[in-house]
Amino acid sequence: MPKIRAAVAGANGYAGMTAVSLLAAHPDVELVQLTSRSLAGKPYQEVFPLLEVRGRFSDEIEPNGVDVIFSCLPHAAGAARTAQWFQAGARVIDMSADYRLKDAAAYPRWYGQEHPAPELLEKAVLGLPELHTEEIKQAQLIAVPGCYSTASILALAPAVHGGLIAADVVVDAKSGVSGAGRSPGLGSHFAEAGEAVSAYALNGHRHLPEITQELAGVAPDAVAPRLTFVPHLVPMVRGILATCYFDSKASAPELTEAYREFYAGQPSTQLVPTTPSTKLAGRTNLCLLNLAAQDGKTVVTAALDNLVKGASGQGVECFNIAFGLDRRAGLELPNQWP
């Protein structure tokens, strides 16, 4: 069988670099184009010296003859190009927030601008395989959810689906600094972020509407529980840990069984017997979940790698589903502990 011809737009950011590394090792993929405006003209191996990838960076994707484009461009930058990519026959896996929300009216509030291509929102399927496998199979446009969103949704979806949450939910989430992207900024500067932990976006993080949208989609009454979401920046490079608190209508064994049933056959989400650390999920495409309780309050923790299951690994998982491949192809990554 001929290999699937893939391109990565924005291959110089953390999500883009992770996508390139995964796709270069994928047995069914030929990487044919990498773009980066800042690196245009440079050989790929100046940026990826350990990969057997030949060619030079271009500033724009030439979509003709490309089967799939992984768009790792900044928010709103890829949306202006998606229609052109479609016309050339390419499927698009988008890593930005451009197509995650179904309601175009929500974008000005959360992203500070009107959506640049609202007519494409109805084509998009959220790239969370545990919830949307069947839709992903046919999708031309797949919107990979955010890293905080992935951890929080997967931590809560079985309880919401079973109608097992009795009251409000609190999500305390923590991220490594790579979640802020590769562009330098004061907030992720080593002297600012090192030896410090800080909460941010206390008035509402832009991943919150993704979480409530998807939880409403699995809720029996199509209404998500009221949720307080507070993210924190911690001095590590990669990883997400989301700790979720809620009152449950079910006993601990019943709740555990609900989670096991919901994620049966899902290779990337696993229940583990002890609270997972981010390092345990590091550099894998796994979301690790643990259920516990404290004085009657249910505590669900979720750990994942924000650049793999929280971004490009999940994009490759969606790609595998969309092209009828083994869902774990290119993603059977060994954990690198410690």
**Claim to verify: residue 140 and residue 243 sit in the same structural domain:** no
**Residue 10 maps to which CATH number?**
3.40.50.720
**Claim to verify: residue 27 and residue 175 sit in the same structural domain:** no
44 Cα distance to chain centroid: 25
Which helix (H) or strand (E) segment holds residue 139: the answer is: none
72, 314 contact by CB (below 8 A)? no
- As annotated, the active-site residues are 147
**Claim to verify: residue 64 and residue 33 sit in the same structural domain:** yes
CB atoms under 10 Å from CB of 12, counted, come to: 20
Looking at residue 206, what DSSP letter applies?
Answer: T
Any domain includes 100: yes
Any domain includes 151: yes
3-state secondary structure 307-326: CHHHHHHHHHHHHHHHCCCC
Any domain includes 166: yes
What CA–CA distance (Å, rounded) separates 11 from 42? 12
Any domain includes 328: no
What CA–CA distance (Å, rounded) separates 237 from 172? 19
Residue 8 belongs to domain spanning: 4-145+309-322
- pLDDT at 39 (0 to 100): 95
- pLDDT at 222 (0 to 100): 96
Query: With bands split at pLDDT 50, 70 and 90, how would you rate the model's confidence at 185?
Result: confident
**Claim to verify: residue 168 and residue 287 sit in the same structural domain:** yes
Domain count, the chain: 2
3-class secondary-structure state, position 57: coil
**Claim to verify: residue 282 and residue 174 sit in the same structural domain:** yes
3-class secondary-structure state, position 99: coil
Own/partner long-range contacts of 130-133 (Cβ < 8 Å, ≥24 apart): 130/154, 130/157, 130/263, 130/266, 130/268, 130/269, 131/157, 131/214, 131/217, 131/218, 133/321
Q: Tell me the mean pLDDT in the region 70-84.
A: 94
**Claim to verify: residue 155 and residue 136 sit in the same structural domain:** no
| The one-letter amino acid at 16 | G
With 90 as the cut, is the pLDDT of residue 263 above it? yes
Any domain includes 335: no
**Claim to verify: residue 78 and residue 196 sit in the same structural domain:** no
| The one-letter amino acid at 212 | T
Any domain includes 333: no
**Claim to verify: residue 159 and residue 274 sit in the same structural domain:** yes
Average pLDDT of the chain, as a whole number: 96
319, 311 contact by CB (below 8 A)? no
Any domain includes 331: no
**Residue 214 maps to which CATH number?**
3.30.360.10
pTM score:
0.97
**Claim to verify: residue 152 and residue 286 sit in the same structural domain:** yes
What CA–CA distance (Å, rounded) separates 287 from 280? 10
The residues, any chain, with a CB within 8 Å of residue 284's CB and separated by 6 or more, are: 305, 308, 309, 313, 333, 334, 335
**Claim to verify: residue 189 and residue 292 sit in the same structural domain:** yes
- pLDDT at 32 (0 to 100): 97
**Claim to verify: residue 125 and residue 250 sit in the same structural domain:** no
292-325 pLDDT, tens digit each: 999 989 999 999 999 999 999 999 999 999 999 9
247, 225 contact by CB (below 8 A)? no
Q: Tell me the mean pLDDT in the region 59-87.
A: 95
The residues, any chain, with a CB within 8 Å of residue 115's CB and separated by 6 or more, are: 79, 98, 104, 107, 121
**Claim to verify: residue 126 and residue 10 sit in the same structural domain:** yes
- pLDDT at 186 (0 to 100): 86
What CA–CA distance (Å, rounded) separates 161 from 68? 33
- pLDDT at 116 (0 to 100): 92
Any domain includes 338: no
166, 248 contact by CB (below 8 A)? yes
